[in-house]
């Protein structure tokens, strides 16, 4: 079974630009969550999508948004990039039909550098 | 404020030297506690989920236990390939799911 894939793996942007990251979950998984990981703040939950609906949301500004498609693939978008948005962005998928994630499988992440 | 604290921040062991990592939490209404392993440059890898005090789970050289306010990850006779950062996360009961992660314990096992 193929794992969670994320594209691109590395990205360099400048302040003020926007970026879109993509995540393909494990086949059959309908829940996709996004996380930001930085040395200063650790791993922080951004949001979770299930069946194309945002089911849960962490404490991040509105510049961070996401969506999920009918095939469960998900994208997250960050607008008006700031230097502090430099981080490893991780996507995780799980089966989770009626409740929170349990066994979550993480992708390798997208490393974003904002200059 | 709900908080998850992991200790120690870093741990160096000799191969075969058993030890324990700690994850303490101040949240109320714990629904589940998760342990992950993260290797450099990779996403976290799921290890265990614990739901109630007294629960234990094992996988190879790892054993996770849970009490009302903390969890331990015991590593028995570690090998160099056990070197990684170990993360714990808690999930609260209630309608929403917003996991709170600890900062992790960086483990290095020397041959």
Closest approach of A80 to chain B, Cα-based (Å): 25
- pLDDT tens digits, B7-53: 999 999 999 999 999 999 987 777 889 999 999 989 999 999 998 89
Q: Beta partners for A50?
A: A31, A53
Nearest chain A alpha carbon to B47: A103
B41 in contact with A at a CB cutoff of 8 Å?
Answer: yes
Range B47-74 burial, b when 16+ CB lie within 10 A, else e? bbbbeeeeeeeeeeebbbbbeeebbbbe
- pLDDT tens digits, A62-80: 999 999 999 999 999 999 9
On the question of pLDDT at A112 being above 70, the answer is yes
φ/ψ of B47, rounded to 5, equals -115, -60
Residue B67: partners with Cβ closer than 8 Å, 6 or more residues away: B53, B54
Residues of B whose CB is below 8 A from A56: 96-98
Looking at residue B91, its pLDDT comes to 82
Mean pLDDT score, A33-55: 92
CB contact under 8 A, B46 and A48: no
pLDDT band for position B95 (50/70/90)? low
3-state SS assignment for residue B106: strand
CA-based nearest residue to A89, from A12, A17, A10, A3: A10
Q: In chain B, where are the structural domains located?
A: 4-110
Q: What is the mean pLDDT of chain A?
A: 92
In angstroms, rounded to a whole number, what is the distance separating the alpha carbons of residues A72 and A50?
Answer: 8
On the question of pLDDT at A24 being above 80, the answer is yes
B40 in contact with A at a CB cutoff of 8 Å?
Answer: no
Mean pLDDT score, B59-75: 95
> Do residues A82 and A114 touch, judged by C-beta distance below 8 A?
yes
Query: Which CATH architecture best describes the domain B4-110?
Result: Sandwich (2.60)
On the question of pLDDT at A99 being above 70, the answer is no
Looking at residue B94, its pLDDT comes to 62
φ/ψ of B82, rounded to 5, equals -80, -5
């Amino acid at each position: 079974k193929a794992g969670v894939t994320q594209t691109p793996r590395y990205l360099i942007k400048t302040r003020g630009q926007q970026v879109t990251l993509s995540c393909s979950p494990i086949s059959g998984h309908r829940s996709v969550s996004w996380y930001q990981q930085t040395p200063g703040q650790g791993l922080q939950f951004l949001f979770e999508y299930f069946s194309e609906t945002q089911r849960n949301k962490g404490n991040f500004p509105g510049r961070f948004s996401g969506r999920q498609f009918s095939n469960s693939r998900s994208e997250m978008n960050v607008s008006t990039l700031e230097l502090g948005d430099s981080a490893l962005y991780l996507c995780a998928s799980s089966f989770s039909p009626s409740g929170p994630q349990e066994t979550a499988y993480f992708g390798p992440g997208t490393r974003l550098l904002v200059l | 404020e709900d908080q998850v604290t992991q200790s120690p921040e870093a741990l160096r062991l000799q191969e075969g030297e058993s030890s324990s990592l700690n994850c303490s939490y101040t949240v109320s209404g714990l629904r589940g506690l998760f342990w992950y392993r993260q290797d450099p440059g990779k996403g976290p890898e799921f290890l265990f989920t614990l739901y109630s005090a007294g629960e234990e789970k094992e996988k190879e050289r790892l054993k996770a236990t849970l009490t009302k306010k903390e969890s331990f990850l015991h590593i028995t006779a570690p090998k160099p390939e056990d070197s990684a950062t170990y993360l714990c996360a808690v999930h609260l009961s209630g309608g929403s799911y917003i996991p709170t992660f600890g900062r992790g314990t960086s483990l290095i096992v020397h041959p």
